[in-house]
């Protein structure tokens, strides 16, 4: 029994070598997915959601065995599975493996993701169903504005992606703005069961939709739960001296007025109200909207209507539900001719 336990403990700590068929290799440690192993080693493996749904991290498993954390994940079609494709963000190697994929220079992380323990500090409401959650780690909170972390909450074996809303800092403060999902496992714990001092695992940072230093106008577009990374990007832009003359627009779409907030809610942003164009909009066509004097309609329509001739001279960032991101991408690429390199987004599956 003792021998069995110690050999399984050794297996848990095993480092598996992942060889790339096209050349090179990297280690994958302690139950890490192939994607996390690659990024921790500075290898440019393409990805987006880390949740098994976008399909960006597809690689071919040439040899070796993996444990698939989410066999029903929507990012891979059954035929692709049959042809040996796997989702690197959901597959944990069980021994040495060989995989085949094209390296993506854009995906080489500027900050390698790392696993830390995080302590829950507090939560406070922003709207009726979005709350801000503050965690603390020892050491600094290192990330780029716009990035997200994977949280493993107490009592959960799966991780969930949540974007940071604050700025990197040496105090180890990580803030998230999270929307309550009815019947959701992680949001159920966050909204109902977290107590000060509760410990969870935080792995990050991830995402390629971070603030670029191009001195073009900045347009941030968020729907629902997509608020956090857009606030981080706005904060990052306001803090960068090189971007001091750049115009910033923040579009935020909700269904009804109660889904929205005013800029006064964020004390650090209020003084920038003249430079920061905040445009909240409601999409619900309802008599209950009597008294709402702001923008109406879907957020992509508002962007199309209000950005005038600024499309060619702006950098676009967006986050939120996949249909919203797709609608804005269609507007930008097909109708306005914006180059894809100037569009940065995370879809919240
Ligand atoms: C890159 C990225 C960044 C993100 N950033 C944020 C962020 O900043 N803020 C934010 O709020 N969210 C964010 N998300 C979404 C977040 O990761 C979670 O998906 C979300 O909080 C829901 O998690 P949950 O565990 O509460 O819900 P889940 O338990 O995953 O449930 C999701 C939905 O499925 C339903 N469901 C669950 N189990 C079943 C079942 N057995 N049968 C039928 N239906 C079922 C639930 O009722 C619910 O409607 C992000 C996602 C991604 C990919
Ligand atoms: S499916 Fe793996 S990163 Fe989205």
Q: Is the pLDDT of residue 281 over 60?
A: yes
Res 287: pLDDT: 63
Res 132: pLDDT: 97
Query: Does a structural domain hold residue 211?
Result: no
Q: Is the pLDDT of residue 205 over 60?
A: yes
* 100 or 11: which leads in pLDDT: 100
Q: Is the CB of residue 113 less than 8 Å from the CB of residue 36?
A: yes
Q: Is the pLDDT of residue 323 over 60?
A: yes
Ligand located closest to 148 CA: 1
The answer to whether the CB of 228 is under 6 A from ligand 1 is yes
Expressed as residue numbers, the domain containing 247 is 217-347
Per the prediction, the chain carries an average pLDDT of: 93
Res 30: pLDDT: 81
**C-alpha 9 to ligand 2 mean position (Å):** 29
Ligand located closest to 74 CA: 2
| Same domain (yes/no): 246, 310 | yes
CA-to-CA separations, 135 to 77, 100, 211, 270, in angstroms, rounded: 37, 37, 22, 24
The answer to whether the CB of 235 is under 6 A from ligand 1 is no
Query: Does a structural domain hold residue 212?
Result: no
Q: What percent of the chain has pLDDT over 90?
A: 86
Domain count, the chain: 3
| Same domain (yes/no): 171, 191 | yes
Res 160: pLDDT: 97
Q: Is the pLDDT of residue 2 over 50?
A: no
For range 209-220, the mean pLDDT: 95
Ligand located closest to 227 CA: 1
3-state DSSP assignment of residue 177: strand
∠ Cα 276 278 279 (to 5°): 150
- Using the 3D structure, point to which of 40, 72, 107 is the last residue of a domain: 107
Res 291: pLDDT: 77
Res 149: pLDDT: 98
**C-alpha 244 to ligand 1 mean position (Å):** 36
- Using the 3D structure, point to which of 56, 80, 107 is the last residue of a domain: 107
Tokens 């494709």 belong to residue: 85
The answer to whether the CB of 148 is under 6 A from ligand 1 is yes
| Same domain (yes/no): 222, 315 | yes
pLDDT category of residue 285 using cuts at 50, 70 and 90:
confident
For range 163-187, the mean pLDDT: 98
Ligand located closest to 163 CA: 1
| Same domain (yes/no): 166, 103 | no
The answer to whether the CB of 314 is under 6 A from ligand 1 is no
For residue 248, which of 272, 267, 224, 226 has the smallest C-alpha distance? 272
The answer to whether the CB of 48 is under 6 A from ligand 2 is yes
**C-alpha 142 to ligand 1 mean position (Å):** 25
For range 225-249, the mean pLDDT: 95
Res 265: pLDDT: 87
Q: Is the pLDDT of residue 95 over 70?
A: yes
pLDDT category of residue 14 using cuts at 50, 70 and 90:
confident
Give residues with Cβ within 8 angstroms of 29, minimum separation 6.
13, 15, 37, 40
Res 13: pLDDT: 62
> For residues 35, 37, 43 and 44, what is the CA-based torsion angle, rounded to 10 degrees?
20
Q: Is the pLDDT of residue 290 over 90?
A: no
Q: What is the CATH number of the domain that holds 136?
A: 2.40.30.10
Nearest residue CA, atom 4 of ligand 1? Answer: 162
For range 212-230, the mean pLDDT: 94
- Using the 3D structure, point to which of 46, 77, 107 is the last residue of a domain: 107
The answer to whether the CB of 47 is under 6 A from ligand 2 is yes
Q: Is the pLDDT of residue 234 over 90?
A: yes
Ligand located closest to 191 CA: 1
The answer to whether the CB of 159 is under 6 A from ligand 1 is no
**C-alpha 349 to ligand 1 mean position (Å):** 7
Query: Ligand 2 atom closest to Cα of 53?
Result: 1
**C-alpha 148 to ligand 1 mean position (Å):** 14
CA-to-CA separations, 251 to 11, 219, 260, 300, in angstroms, rounded: 49, 8, 11, 9
Nearest residue CA, atom 1 of ligand 2? Answer: 52
**C-alpha 90 to ligand 2 mean position (Å):** 8
Ligand located closest to 39 CA: 2
| Same domain (yes/no): 125, 164 | yes
Query: Does a structural domain hold residue 73?
Result: yes
Least confident of 44-48, 55-59, 249-253, 258-262: 258-262
For range 123-139, the mean pLDDT: 96
Res 286: pLDDT: 74
| Same domain (yes/no): 102, 38 | yes
pLDDT category of residue 6 using cuts at 50, 70 and 90:
very low
Res 11: pLDDT: 46
For range 220-225, the mean pLDDT: 94
The answer to whether the CB of 225 is under 6 A from ligand 1 is yes
**C-alpha 126 to ligand 2 mean position (Å):** 29
**C-alpha 105 to ligand 1 mean position (Å):** 30
Q: What is the CATH number of the domain that holds 45?
A: 3.10.20.30
**C-alpha 50 to ligand 1 mean position (Å):** 12
Both structure tokens of 147: 């990035």
Nearest residue CA, atom 33 of ligand 1? Answer: 184
pLDDT category of residue 288 using cuts at 50, 70 and 90:
low
């Amino acid at each position: 029994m003792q021998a069995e336990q110690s050999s399984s403990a050794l297996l848990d700590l095993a480092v598996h070598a992942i060889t790339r068929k096209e050349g090179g290799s990297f280690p994958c440690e302690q139950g890490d997915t192939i994607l996390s192993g690659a990024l921790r080693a500075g290898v440019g493996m393409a990805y987006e959601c880390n949740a098994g749904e976008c399909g960006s991290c597809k690689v071919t498993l040439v040899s070796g065995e993996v444990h698939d954390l989410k066999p029903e994940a929507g990012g891979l079609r059954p035929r692709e599975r049959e042809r040996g494709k796997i989702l690197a963000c959901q597959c944990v190697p069980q021994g040495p493996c060989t995989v085949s994929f094209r390296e993506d220079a854009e995906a080489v992380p500027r900050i390698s993701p790392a696993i830390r323990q995080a302590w829950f500090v507090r939560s406070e409401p922003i709207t009726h169903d979005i709350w801000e959650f503050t965690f603390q780690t020892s050491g600094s909170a290192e990330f780029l504005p716009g990035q997200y972390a994977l949280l493993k909450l107490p009592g959960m074996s799966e991780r969930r992606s949540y974007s940071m809303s604050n700025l990197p800092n040496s105090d180890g403060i990580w803030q998230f703005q999270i929307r309550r999902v009815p019947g959701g496992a992680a949001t159920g714990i966050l909204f109902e069961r977290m107590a000060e001092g509760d410990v969870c695992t935080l792995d990050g940072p991830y995402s390629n939709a971070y603030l670029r230093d191009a001195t073009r106008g900045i347009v941030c577009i968020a729907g629902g739960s997509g608020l956090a990374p857009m606030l981080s990007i706005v904060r990052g832009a306001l803090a960068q001296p090189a971007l001091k003359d750049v115009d910033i627009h923040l579009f935020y779409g909700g269904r009804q007025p109660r889904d929205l907030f005013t800029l006064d809610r964020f004390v650090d942003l209020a003084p920038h109200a003249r430079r920061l164009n905040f445009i909240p909009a409601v999409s619900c066509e309802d008599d209950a909207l009597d008294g709402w004097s702001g923008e109406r309609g879907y957020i992509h329509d508002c962007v199309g209507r209000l950005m005038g001739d600024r499309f060619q001279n702006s950098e676009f960032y967006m986050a939120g539900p996949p249909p919203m991101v797709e609608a804005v991408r269609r507007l930008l690429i097909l109708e306005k001719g914006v180059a894809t390199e100037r569009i940065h987004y995370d879809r919240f599956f």
